[in-house]
Amino acid sequence: MTSPFFEIWLYLAQIIKLLDMKKITLILMALVSFNFGSAQYLQDFNGAGAAFPPAGWVVFNGSNGLGTVELWEQGGTDPEFYAISSYETLVAPQISEDWLVSSLIPINSTQNALVFDATDFNAPDYGSTVSVRVSTTSQTDETTFTEIASFNETDLGGNAIFTSLNASLAAYLNQSVYIAFVHVQTDGDFIALDNVEVVQGAANPPGPATTPTPADMATGVIVDTSDADADGSPDNSILFAWAPDNGLGSVAPDEYEILLGDSPTTLASLGTAPATVTLPISISGFLYNTTYYWQVIPKNTAGSATNNPVWSFTTEVGSVSAPDAVTTPTPADMATNVAIDTANSDAVAFAWADATTGDAPESYVFLLGDSPTTLNALGSLANTSVNITGMLTGTTYFWQIQPRNVGGTNTAGPVWQFTTEGTASVDDQIANLFTLSPNPATDVLNIQIDEVITNATIYNGLGQVITENVKSNNNQININTLSAGLYLLKLDTDSGSQTVQFIKK
């Protein structure tokens, strides 16, 4: 988790799927730090065996009488602890509110902004929010509180990686307030808080950034194909820089959010960088002869800049073309009785060869489906072989490899097919442990099982872990945050384990 001074690495949380890129990575060579001003108040919830709530704080359930099983409590291990609120097992439209309220805090010119760290513990979005509310009159009368900010699971970050959040308290200048953190949910997630501070905040939001590099509408922008991250393949990177709005009356930013996309309306956030970041920064994964759009949003404790321009640039034509189609598939095209490795999670071994003509690939997109028109991208590979687990007996599969490099992606290669060994049967496919419905699914997987589930893990089609310790409620798993594609669900029970494929629509 972050320190009270929010030391962070600038990094990209996920590959931006809307762009045809090998990778998008923000590269910084050193750890950078920033702070919002001298902290006047801090609650870090530390101390092994310390009383909870901390002295002067209170916890209680919402007055609607729903979700009374859980309360905020101390979590973590010595020496680093935090406050944690578990999910309440409810069914929509029932909503629970679990309250954690501070002691009385004076708000003045040197402490008028709330900053804290927060996270949820699972990648899927279970609908939890952290509502920040303020009262000047009571610590426990819910009717006296006013909401000043609300953060959903996307804001919190997920996967137990703490994110720094803030809210302005400038409206309560020269008053004393109780600050409530309210976990609002319907069968939500595990939510944690740490490092709560009230600090000196900005008087106003910053102005928009200016002076972009690459310049707006620039053409022929050079793509650096060196391998600065030493991963064995070109970075295909571009240097980015900008300047804060230092015009008359502007307020300095604390951080910048960076967005990138292939059109002005499909910008996706790459994450945030502190205002102290050394520019330029290197972002990698770009293609030749392609137009990109980007935006920088300055932020401080008073809010985000408005009227932020969207800039564009077009990369150089370059000397590399998209690779030619790969050849020599294993399993061979139209092969039958293809072996399944039952000792390796029912895996089938795949391999292919690069074309002997054209420019070399840097990576490969692997697609698999039950027909030539229902192929699902399972992910990106650096090598020319892979084992795909969770394959079914007596089943015909279709697959394709799309090689790509800085020149582009070859999507026109052949689609091959093969049939696995054995005869498809209910017993073979479900091993008498569990079944899933619907499959394909859009939002929720229903699990038909007679055993108690002790653990659930979701993998992508390449066997890479997407989410561990997946929470199931009444034998249902929420998958609405997964991208469309083919996945594997592994369930562990006291009687054994089994992995089954499913498709997210």
Residues 46 and 89 in one domain: yes
278 lies in the same domain as 138: no
- What is the reported pLDDT for 103? 95
- Asked whether residue 52 falls in the same domain as residue 171, the answer is yes
The verdict on residue 321 lying in a domain is no
- Say yes or no: 261 and 384 in one domain: no
- Do residues 215 and 235 make contact, with C-beta atoms less than 8 angstroms apart? no
Q: Which amino acid, 173?
A: L
- Mark whether 305 and 359 lie in a shared domain: no
Q: Which domain holds residue 385?
A: 327-420
- Looking at residue 73, its amino acid is E
The CATH number given to whatever domain includes residue 291 is 2.60.40.10
d(CA 129, CA 120): 10
CB 220 within 8 A of CB 314: yes
Say whether both 48 and 193 belong to one domain. Answer: yes
**What CATH number did the domain enclosing 177 receive?**
2.60.120.200
Domain-embedded: residue 13: no
Q: How high is the pLDDT of residue 432?
A: 57
Q: Are residues 73 and 176 in the same domain?
A: yes
pLDDT digits (tens, 9 = 90+) for 362-412: 989 999 888 888 888 877 888 999 998 878 888 899 999 999 999 999 999
> Final residue of a domain: which of 420, 439, 468?
420
Q: What is the distance between the alpha carbons of residues 458 and 235, in angstroms, rounded to a whole number?
A: 29
481 & 439 share domain: yes
Tokens of 19: 């762009």
Q: Which of 396, 420, 444 is the last residue of a domain?
A: 420
Residues 446, 74: Cα–Cα separation, whole Å: 33
User: Residue by residue, what is the 3-state secondary structure of 123-171?
Assistant: CCCCCCEEEEEEECCCCCCHHHCEEEEEEEHHHHCCCCCCEEEEEECHH
CA distances from 502 to 345, 360, 371, 428, 468 (A): 15, 33, 15, 16, 16
Residue 463 lies in a domain: yes
| Domain count across the chain | 4
410 and 348 in a single domain? The answer is yes
Strand bridging mode 163-168 / 113-120: antiparallel
The answer to whether the Cα torsion of 481, 483, 484, 488 is positive or negative is negative
- What is the CATH number for 456? 2.60.40.1220
Residue 162 forms part of a structural domain: yes
Q: Do 227 and 271 belong to one domain? A: yes
CA end-to-end span of the chain, whole Å? Answer: 34
Residues 338 and 439 in one domain: no
Are 391 and 306 members of one domain? no
Q: Is residue 446 part of a domain?
A: yes
3-state secondary structure 2-56: CCCCCCECCCCCCCCCCCCCCCCEEECCCCECCCCCCCCCEECCCCCCCCCCCCC
CA-based nearest residue to 475, from 434, 439, 427: 434
Out of 199, 222, 252, pick the residue that ends a domain.
199
In a domain, 114, yes or no: yes
Domain membership of residue 410 (yes or no) is: yes
Positions of the chain with pLDDT lower than 70, given as ranges: 1-41, 49, 246-250, 424-432, 473
pLDDT at 503: 81
Residue 263 maps to a domain: yes
Q: Determine the residue type at 198.
A: V
